[in-house]
Amino acid sequence: MPALVLIIGVSFLDSPIVGLRCSPSARIFKIHQELLKARGGRIICAFERGFKEKSDGVYTITDTTEETLLRYMEWAYRNDYPSAVNEDSSQEPGAETKGDATDPRLCHVGVYIFANKYIIDKLEALAFRKLTRSLALVKDFSDNDSRTLIQVLDLALSNLPAGNSLLEWLGKYAAWRLSYLRRCTDFHDRSGSLAPFLIKYVQPSPPPPECDPNVEYYRNRVKPRW
């Protein structure tokens, strides 16, 4: 426990414990209130400004998953979060988490969206680094990588404001990987929503298309019968 105090830079072990939950689940996950305050963001305001949460001792989050909430709590205690988490609500605050097999890239974008909405700057920066690094390190881009990138883009476009730094990075990365994305049926299924976003990042083809009637393509065409 002393190591945790050193990481955060504040003493929180004697502070009250409050609860966090994700709607519609009734499960409550416990966290030290002083730690919540030290980590910053909007959540602590509900406990300090006389809202309903102050009397109930529980803050309900409606726009994330329990897995993302647990990653946030893990980061709050340990300054980092795992891709896999344990959803056991009986665990002690700060206990090591293990478990789900969700793609890490989807985990990171979920944490980033959560941190962005609740203005938790340090967690947002960490999730940005984790997500961009995990995407940039992919060498042999597979169909599964394409599907995952499409899911990441969907989540980011649906939950982040225009001009967000992660959206800008994802736009450039997706344009770079466009030749792979085009081979994926999921991309064509979602092209209506993705195309307007990607078009501003796609570079024009260096040479213009051939239009000289003397080139071989035109000479070999079957002439119309009329």
Going from the first residue of the chain to its last (226 residues), give the mean pLDDT of each consecutive group of 10, the final group possibly shorter: 49 83 90 90 83 78 91 94 63 38 88 96 96 94 93 94 93 91 86 78 70 55 53
Residue 178 lies inside a defined structural domain of this protein = no
Provide the residue count of the chain.
Answer: 226
Provide the 10 A C-beta neighbour count for residue 123. 24
Q: Within a domain: residue 117? A: no
Backbone angles phi, psi at 31, to 5 degrees: -150, 150
Predicted local confidence at residue 205, as pLDDT: 65
Domain containing 5 equals 1-100
Tally of domains within the chain:
1
Q: Is residue 210 part of a domain?
A: no
pLDDT of residue 91: 41
CATH number at residue 42: 3.30.710
Query: Could you count the other beta carbons within 10 Å of the beta carbon of residue 13?
Result: 13
- Inside any domain, residue 118: no
pLDDT for position 146: 93
Please state, in angstroms and rounded to a whole number, the distance separating the CA atoms of residues 161 and 149: 19
Residue 78 included in any domain? yes
| 187 in any annotated domain | no
In a domain, 22, yes or no: yes
pTM of the model: 0.79
Distance, in Å, from the CA atom of 4 to the CA atom of 153, rounded to the nearest integer, reads: 35
Residue 226 is assigned to a structural domain of this protein: no
